[in-house]
Amino acid sequence: MYSIAIALHAIAAAIWVGGMFFMLVVFRPAVMTLDSTARTPIMATTMKKFFPWVWMAIIILLVTGYVLVGAFGGFGSVPIYVHIMHLVGWVMIGLFAFMVFMPHRVFRSAVESGNQELALKSLNTVRWVVTANLVLGLALFAIVTGGRYS
């Protein structure tokens, strides 16, 4: 059972962090070649399709994470890298929730109303939040995978 929880935890993290990497490093540079009036609806549609996957990944990460901590005797019994993963994970969830409910909401509304200037401004804020989360996620992968061997 615990091997299933670990596998689901890793898959959910890969979907979230990998999705952010793809969006910032591959997809965004590709759509930047388009005119902004074509780019913003594509970005809006892409985020609309990606965000439910992130919410599902968050739920899976939380459930499997707490199951695994419980299996190892609680937070008092786990190594330091698990505590770091827990803290950074909650920071990432907070950043994602902020981004969805603040700048992304403004972006989506601006795209729907045709306010291109506001759409681009709020999309830039979304980009910075995603960048911060990607850096945290990649650092977390390094800490967690390397932490087992230190």
Domain that holds residue 79: 2-147
pLDDT of 127-145, one tens digit each?
A: 999 999 999 999 999 998 8
pLDDT of 22-60, one tens digit each?
A: 999 999 999 999 999 999 999 999 999 999 999 999 999
What is the C-alpha separation between 108 and 91, in angstroms, rounded? 24
- If one compares 73 and 147, the residue with the highest pLDDT of the two is 73
The pLDDT, as a whole number, for residue 150 is 60
Full-model pTM: 0.94
144: Cα within 13 Å, side-chain hemisphere:
19
Helices (H), the chain: 2-21, 28-31, 36-71, 80-101, 103-113, 116-147
Q: Are 20 and 133 in contact (CB under 8 A)?
A: yes
C-alpha to C-alpha distances, 102 to 1, 11, 14, 97, 138, nearest whole angstrom: 38, 27, 25, 8, 24
Minimal CA–CA distance to 64: which of 9, 144, 140?
Answer: 9
Mapped onto helix, strand or coil, the DSSP state of residue 77 is coil
Handedness of CA 12, 13, 18, 20 (dihedral sign): positive
Total domains in the chain come to 1
pLDDT of 96-106, one tens digit each?
A: 999 999 999 99
The pLDDT, as a whole number, for residue 111 is 97
